[in-house]
Amino acid sequence: MLVEVAVAAAVRGTFTYRVPPHLIRQVELGRRVAVPFGKSRRATGYVVGFPAAAPAGVELRELVELLDDAPLFTPKLIELLRWAEDYYLVPPGELLRAALPPGLNARAGQQAPTRRGVEFAAPAPGAQEALSTLSRRARAQHGVLEYLLARGRIPVEELRTAFPKGRAALSTLATRGLVLLDTESIRPSGGLLPASAQAPVLTSAQADALAEVNAALGSFTPFLLHGVTGSGKTEVYLQAIAHARTTGKGALVLVPEIALTPQLAGRFRARFGDTVALLHSGLSASERHAEWLRLRNGEASICVGVRSAIFAPVQDLGIVVVDEEHDGSFKQEDGPGYHARDLAVVRAKLESAVCILGSATPSLESLENARSGRYRKLSLPARIDDRPMPAVEILDLSRGNRGAPLPGLLSPQLLDALAATLAANQQSILFLNRRGYQTLILCRDCGREEQCPACSVSLTFHARRNVLVCHYCGHKEPMTPVCPACGGPRGGVGVGTEQVEEAVRAALPSARVDRLDRDSVSGADETAAVLARFARRETDVLIGTQMVTKGHDFPGVTLVGVILADTALALPDFRAAERTFQLLAQVAGRAGRGAEPGRVLVQTFHPDSPAVACAVAHDYGRFTEQELDRRRAYGYPPFGRLLAVRITGSDQGARACAEALGDAARPVLGRDVAMLGPAPAVIERLRGQSRWHILFKASHPSSLGRIHAALAQIARRPPGHASIRFDRDPNSML
């Protein structure tokens, strides 16, 4: 008897082993095994098949041992992983390893903890007053209590998601009587929970969408659910999953980032109790492992998780949901590069499940699939309660403001709007997708631009810490006012969030200002604390990067200012316009979610660019119409398929390798594949390594398989000791 084993290492292909007689009865698909590999006596691998015959000329070795007491992967998951290995051109063992929770090796065989009921936390009466008496040093307790005061009684799961390190703080607060904890038990029938989690009566648009999904349960049916922000998409997912559960089926829900949207975790837990398992990076390795085990044992049947949860062992999968399906975070960028949104559709097909891709701004790929009839389209055209979409106005920075520079890029109109909002006791959000104080430091005499010594990118000046930082590799150096080359005076240009904050504080001294970006907060706990203060209206103006575009629903926000809409437009990437449109639509959706109508001001140097103009008009249809025409004309996705080959190494090694790959590909291109490059990447150097790219553009996916086959030989032994990465359906063009 023979087994095909994917070895957990960065090697391409699988290996065949003989099964010793005493193991023949136990060996199963998906089992973790120990095998001899190369010179080492033992490596870990996974059984992925049972070949009838061994490859010719290979001396077979024997399986050493079976690990764990049951398979780690269901046969369907093995099928999915093999599909992904083939399509994404990644080593199978690496993919299998990425599919397992971290720390599995150390903990194999451990029992999952059983839970009873759903825990809720609420601020105790008097907690508001007690907040000021808490020691300033008890920052974690402050954060947790602020959050609870902002949110009221919520499932503890939401709190855990928002404050991964806040466990001790919560129990201290409970002991001191500032927080009340209680547990709602789950009904034995597994039905819905009591009042706190009752489902609302659906609007007719929601009911129509739900009816279509429910009717399709049991067969592979992909849906695109297009609904504006706040139109009730999540409620449709919840009720579709509730229906699937009544037929005994499980569900998988993928979301871009759980830490920024803790309410979502709480909503699922409140509705479905313990049958929900959460998988995200805010959990410790042992918690993730425990959640994973609960799914594998069938104790939990609904999984809510981020990208890697696409491989979660949900049993008898009936429905797969991808929320915010357009989000770039579903693409794994290093290691095995898969796209979880696309794999969600493949997994649904393998498991005969329904698949819902939901978004307010669907990706052009999904839109085209809906237009061509591959996906069925569902629409939620209006916000719940028919709340109007906010009015969006453009402030054209290229006109009228010439001459005196705007401090922190704040135009007089935006400053007036901020002051008026403050005077009305309402809140504002300012969004700019660039961190730091100034994004470029240059010498006024010799013109030298300060670059990272290891990367071909400019260093960003961070004023508070007085350092220059590389945002790609983390290199730091002290900022000095003189040029290291000629001794001339240096100055900075390019506004970042830190400078916006300074300018707002100077212009509105009475405003309470806070900033949310990766410099001002470290980790989910601090993020949650900043958002909680904002939700409690202790902050008037919140400034930040895209971290402020997601997350909570803030009813007090009536003004959203986009400091510069153009930052993403200028990137050399065919998706630049699409990303800009999505980002603007997202951030505009933050305004006017309460009783007061919202106002959005968008500052831009390119008011006529389609992405900006259409986002301002809330016109998804017109934007996508134009953008699809452009993509069609240039053969870009969704019309053409892309394969990027990324080469890194020494200056000479990377070049030699890239040229060898180019030479190997040229004869097999044919008329259906275009090759761009080989050429140095947009970011030519990263972490001291030289980078080259080749981009292949084909009208059919199968043509790219032919190209890969021609290059695979070289990839096995890359010239110049370079390293080669195949990136199918690349997300980043940098």
When the beta carbons of 229 and 460 are compared against ligand ADP, the nearer one is 229
CB-nearer residue toward Zn ion: 226 or 475: 475
Closer of 454 and 712 to Zn ion (Cβ): 454
Rounded CA-CA distance 455/683 in Å is 8
What is 36-62 written as a DSSP string?
EETTEEEEEEEEEE--SSPPTT---EE
Helices (H) and strands (E) in the chain, counts: 21, 31
Task: Based on the shown chain and the rule CB under 5 A, indicate whether residue 6 belongs to the binding site for Zn ion.
Answer: no
DSSP H helical ranges for 134-228: 139-151, 156-162, 167-175, 204-216
Q: Quick check: bond before 101 cis, omega within 30?
A: no
Site membership for ligand ADP, residue 301 (CB under 6 A) = no
416 neighbors 601 (Cβ within 8 angstroms):
no
b/e burial code for range 389-403 (CB count within 10 A of at least 16 → b)? bbebebbebeeebee
231 binds, among Zn ion, ligand ADP, none (CB under 5 to 8 A by kind): ligand ADP
Sequence-distant (6+) residues with CB within 8 A of 163 are 140, 143, 144, 147, 169, 170, 524, 525, 528
| Residue number, 520 or 586, with CB nearest to ligand ADP | 586
Which token pair is 498? 């830190």
Confirm or reject binding of residue 232 to ligand ADP (CB under 6 A): yes
Residue 232: CB minimum distance to ligand ADP, A? 3
Report, in Å, the least distance between residue 453 CB and Zn ion.
7
> Which residue's CB is nearer to ligand ADP, number 239 or number 332?
239
Nearer to ligand ADP, 323 or 540 (CB): 323
CA distance 541 to 406: 19
Does 467 participate in binding Zn ion (rule CB under 5 A)?
no
- Proportion of the chain in helix, strand, coil states, percent, rounded to 5: 35, 25, 40
Dist. CA 277–CA 309, nearest whole Å: 10
Question: Toward ligand ADP, which CB reaches closer, 206 or 603?
Answer: 206
Q: In terms of C-beta distances under 8 Å and separation of at least 24 residues, what long-range contacts does 665-671 make, across chains too? A: 665/694, 665/696, 665/707, 665/710, 665/711, 667/710, 668/706, 668/707, 668/710, 669/707, 670/703, 670/706
CB of 211 to ligand ADP, least distance (A): 14
Interface stretch with Zn ion, choices 84-92, 471-479, 528-536, 719-727 (CB under 5 A): 471-479
Q: Is 473 a residue that touches Zn ion (CB under 5 A)?
A: yes
Q: Tell me which stretch binds Zn ion (CB under 5 A): 313-321, 464-472, 532-540, 571-579.
A: 464-472
Pull the structure tokens for residue 627. Answer: 């953008």
Select the binding partner of residue 455 from ligand ADP, Zn ion, none (C-beta < 5 to 8 A, by kind).
Zn ion
Distances (CA, A) of 492 to 445, 459, 570: 13, 10, 20
Find the part of the chain contacting ligand ADP (CB under 6 A) among 45-53, 147-155, 175-183, 227-235.
227-235
**Residues 210, 215: Cα–Cα separation, whole Å:** 8
User: How many Å from the N-terminal Cα to the C-terminal Cα in the chain?
Assistant: 48
The listed partner (Zn ion, ligand ADP, none) that binds 325, CB under 5 to 8 Å by sort, is none
Least spacing, CB of residue 242 vs ligand ADP, in Å: 14
Give Cα 530 to chain centroid, integer Å. 21
For residue 69, the SS3 value is coil
Give the integer Cα–Cα distance in Å for 503 and 407. Answer: 6
> In what helix (H) or strand (E) does residue 543 lie, and over which residues does it extend?
strand 541-544
Measured from the CB atom, is 58 or 201 closer to ligand ADP? 201
- Number of residues located near ligand ADP, criterion CB under 6 A: 14
Binding to Zn ion by CB under 5 A, coded x per residue (else -) over 475-514, reads x---------------------------------------
Closer CB to Zn ion, 83 or 472, in the complex: 472
Measured from the CB atom, the residue of 474 and 621 that comes closer to Zn ion is 474
Is 658 in contact with 647 (CB distance < 8 Å)? yes
Q: From residue 529, how far is each of 92, 225, 522, 539, 659 by CA, in Å?
A: 41, 32, 11, 12, 51
- In whole angstroms, how close is the CB of 575 to Zn ion at the nearest point? 24
Prior bond to 390 cis, omega within 30?
no
Site for ligand ADP contains 325 (CB under 6 A): no
Do 450 and 468 form a contact (C-beta atoms < 8 A)? Answer: yes
φ, ψ at 600 (rounded to 5°): -125, 130
Q: Which stretch binds ligand ADP (CB under 6 A): 74-82, 225-233, 510-518, 562-570?
A: 225-233
Query: Which single residue is written with the structure tokens 């998409």?
Result: 233
How many residues line the site for Zn ion (CB under 5 A)? Answer: 7
249 vs 267, beta carbon nearer ligand ADP:
267
The least distance separating Zn ion from the CB of residue 175, rounded to whole angstroms, comes to 47
Within 33-72, which residues bind ligand ADP (CB under 6 A)? none
Q: Which amino acid type is present at position 613? A: A
Residue 470 binds Zn ion (CB under 5 A) = yes
Helix residue ranges per DSSP H, 594-642: 610-616, 620-634
Closest distance between ligand ADP and the C-beta of residue 529, in Å?
A: 22
Stretch that binds ligand ADP, among 106-114, 161-169, 233-241, 611-619 (CB under 6 A): 233-241
Amino acid of residue 45: G
Of 1, 116, 86, 95, the C-alpha closest to 46 is 95
Window 165 to 224, contacts with ligand ADP (CB under 6 A): 200-203, 206
| Closer of 32 and 151 to ligand ADP (Cβ) | 151
Give the contact letters, 382-421, x = binds to ligand ADP (CB under 6 A), - = no.
--x-------------------------------------
Interface with Zn ion in residues 441-460 (CB under 5 A): 452, 454-455
Of the candidate spans 22-30, 228-236, 482-490, 676-684, the one that interacts with ligand ADP by CB under 6 A turns out to be 228-236
Q: What is the smallest separation between the CB atom of 690 and Zn ion, expressed in angstroms? A: 14
Among 85, 146, 235, 578, binds ligand ADP (CB under 6 A): 235
Q: Which does 289 bind (CB under 5 to 8 A by kind): ligand ADP, Zn ion, none?
A: none
473 binds, among ligand ADP, Zn ion, none (CB under 5 to 8 A by kind): Zn ion
The answer to whether 229 contacts ligand ADP (rule: CB under 6 A) is yes
CB-CB contact of 417 with 507 (8 Å): no
Which residue among 227, 318, 337, 680 contacts ligand ADP (CB under 6 A)?
227
Is residue 151 near ligand ADP by the rule CB under 6 A? no
In this complex, which beta carbon is closest to Zn ion, that of residue 2 or of residue 682? 682
- Long-range Cβ contact pairs of 459-464 (< 8 A, separation 24 or more): 460/435, 460/436, 460/496, 461/436, 461/437, 461/492, 462/436, 462/437, 462/498, 462/519, 463/437, 463/438, 463/498, 463/499, 463/502, 464/437, 464/498
Nearer to ligand ADP (CB atom), residue 253 or residue 541 = 253
SS (H, E, C) 301-354: CEEEECHHHHHCCCCCEEEEEEECCCCHHHECCCCCCCEHHHHHHHHHHHCCCE
Contact 49, 73 (CB under 8 A): no
Residue 570: CB minimum distance to ligand ADP, A: 30
CB of 489 to Zn ion, least distance (A): 25
Residue 667 buriedness (CB in 10 A; 0-12 / 13-18 / 19+): exposed
**Least Å from the CB of residue 370 to ligand ADP:** 17
Among ligand ADP, Zn ion, none, the one that 475 touches (CB under a kind-dependent 5 to 8 A) is Zn ion
Interface residues with Zn ion (CB under 5 A)?
Answer: 452, 454-455, 470, 472-473, 475
Residues contributing to the site for ligand ADP (CB under 6 A):
200-203, 206, 227, 229-235, 384
